[in-house]
A = this chain, B = another copy of it.
Amino acid sequence: MLYDIDVLAFDADDTLWANQPYFDQAELEFQALLSDYADKETLERSLYAKQMKLLELYGYGVKPLTLGMIETAAEVIPSAVPGSILNRILDIGKELLEMPIEILPHIEETLSLIAGKYKLIMATKGDLVDQVRKLRRSGLKDYFHHVEVMSDKKPENYRNLLRRLEINAERFCMVGNSYPSDILPVVQIGGKAVYVPFHTTWKHEVYTGDAMLIDGRRVFQIDDIRKLNELLF
């Protein structure tokens, strides 16, 4: 069980609300849009490679996807990219920024059960403006004492966050759907973590290292967010 916790931090995308399904859908649309110029696998490979490069410059979120789609289009249509295709790509990006916020099942009841007993933080990667707007649209804002949009989720990013908020790592628990971003780095700096897998995961967030550490002492895995409450009480 999760003892001696003061602060619970929640990842946002695919932990509080659905996100990846909309990105998957956007990529399918992009592949259909360019199907006259390149096959699905070529587009997928090219877009992913461009996104990985753009991540370094632009961080996570919709913008590197939009720019990656434009770069890929310029690559597979070398002469000139029809305005209709360019505008459709720009619209796919804008639509992602306006995606419906579909709160995942039992999130709200769980947050309301634990909000009075723990200090709750939302800790997410992605674009500052976009994530703040999604939180506001979600209606979940008032559950959180603090919102942190992180440029990355490496151990040093968590260490900085805890130092700044004056939180002791042992009394901190991160809840999220990405093992490499939400679980492993937190455990590495001495914190605790609850892994709640989501049905679809972006390739970049798929864990490919050694066996996952799920020890039932510092690291837990649950398939239903309601079980978080059982772990805590």
Residue positions of A touching B, CB distance < 8 A: 57-59, 63, 66-67, 70-71, 73-74, 77-83, 86-87, 90, 93-94, 97-98, 127-130, 132, 146, 149, 151, 164
Contacts and interface: CB of A to CB of B under 8 A. Distances in A.
Contacts of A146: 164
A59 B127 CA distance: 9
Given A57-B94, A129-B58, A83 B78 contact: yes
A85 to B, nearest CB: 8
A79 B80 CA distance: 9
25 contacts: A57-B94, A57-B98, A57-B129, A58-B97, A58-B127, A58-B129, A58-B130, A59-B127, A59-B129, A59-B130, A67-B90, A70-B70, A71-B90, A73-B86, A74-B87, A74-B90, A79-B80, A80-B83, A81-B86, A86-B86, A127-B127, A127-B128, A128-B151, A129-B151, A132-B151
Given A70-B70, A127-B59, A129-B151, A79 B81 contact: no
Number of copies: 2
A81 B83 contact: yes
B59 A128 contact: yes
Most chain B beta carbons < 10 A, residue from A57, A59, A67, A164: A57
A77 B67 contact: no
Contact of A82 (B79, B87, B127, B149): B79
